Structure 1
């Protein structure tokens, strides 16, 4: 019996990764009833990673009230995977930009405290591994709030805890980790990080991502200086030099905080998801893999799901077909990275709203047409 692995990412604002996989399977089955289909919902470490990994492993999503970026309570979520030993967190669920109205965005005061609270809640579940996706942050505090939520103390010259936000780092005098949650010593922390920005400098957290979080030019300069000071105190008190490590600047410097205080490993998000879903095992005896996402363009080769799936498939000489809602003129560079063929699922001229609303049918019909040609 022929075997087809279906491993798409979500089609943003239209379909979750599992819904996309279901649509592809439904279309293929209309023509290929005697083929074995294995669905492995995917993600690249960004938005949708929790849902994809939960669906792929038979886990569950948990909800919790935590501290939002501006100090108010928000309803956040995290995932417990099917193995019962792994938690998955999207920092954006607790500390994300989308939680803050445009008019109120302010990285001078925004905090990652809620992300730390999610980590603590996951530890309460007795997990042995935590996967953290760190895209989409509203913060620029270097993970200061995160470590405060986990028991670390960031003190000013008078021995008083500094307040939330990137501005407060200017007054940091000493870091005390005496009361840091001891359970952190017994878990593996892997971070889905798809950028290589250092903590500070012209390519650092403040300069590159500060503007989208509401920072003015003057504030960017201040935030960058404050993070540099923060890094120097970490180096002195924690013994870790994290300032120029690639990825330290991710999520407003949360990457640096995770490196410094949780001894985390920064990894490509797609690779983490592939590992957690055991995609390689499914591909070993496959005849074809179908992947895809909402849009495929020149940026797809930089660690996006279709490329991660393709690279894994090529280890077993499995052909790769990608399906996408939109294709830009420069999409063809993906052919050099393991994808053999690409098809748009949009059948004709339509508005974006129509394309999003009809995503399931369009994807199913494209898969059905593809199956007619395949004829295993």
Structure 2
């Protein structure tokens, strides 16, 4: 179960799992497109009989009675921390700068009007994901935010969405929820962008529907990469591996270490912790996707990690900051033995919706910018036009676009 792996093979296995789901996901998207709400109700029968797709205000309020007060207070505190961090990402609505006499340039930033967030359900409630998706959208200034979560929606999820100020909530899970938000149904208006983590069906549906709607990035089953040397605590490494493994049977973990003796020590700790783990069955399955790689140096460990481009990267070495400065590809980076990935999952304030399966090579984790779009602004007066007019006319005519050149000439003639 705990075994040595080759990086390339580990990555291929992660990619293949997505492709295995393509036929199923394509069929579900087609059903939602053709049948609308009827498809959502029929596909939900596996879990419950679905009458109302939309969650009422009364149901949202009643959910508080089913959640422990301490949990509610913790969600409120976590919301405040997440909001505080994301407020620092808020861009200026408009900035203008005089680049040269007569030429003022700038950027106007506008929030998207309507977005959809996906909150996983099924095996567990994920109120943290509700907060992570909703808070940056709210901070960005998105006017309409709808949420979908698999039925029956857990009270914890409803409470978290309510704390975040999301009142438009729908009972829909899996690929059908993504299709509903992208294409629209009788109950759900289409959105401009869909964000949020999910299983391979959710992830693949987002990727397929990108022609219809923008998405954040592929955010599938959880994963962690750990760079460790001989100073790493085997129990801490094992604890982080089990923490990610309990998410989903398709979760995956990889330890990259310069210490040949560390994998065996970690393996023993995994077995001890697994014996008493409440989610032992899920962890056992996900550990089949996990393993370790022994390398000769920290430089080689960094290079291997950058190939993996893990969703979460934990750095457990004697000089972690030197590794941090050299790492290029990771969704979120946790530095030192006290920086548990779970802190980022819940309450430190950073976002836990992150690219998986190597996609952190090209995507950033969810933030306020994901909910904004920008337009460049050009303000040119007569002096400014004279300064650049010859350049514009020369290049336009070289391209054979004479009307472009003429549009400048007519202005210069007055």
Higher-Rg structure is 2
TM-score by length of 1: 0.26
TM-score after normalising by structure 2: 0.24
Which structure's residues are more often helix, by fraction?
A: 2
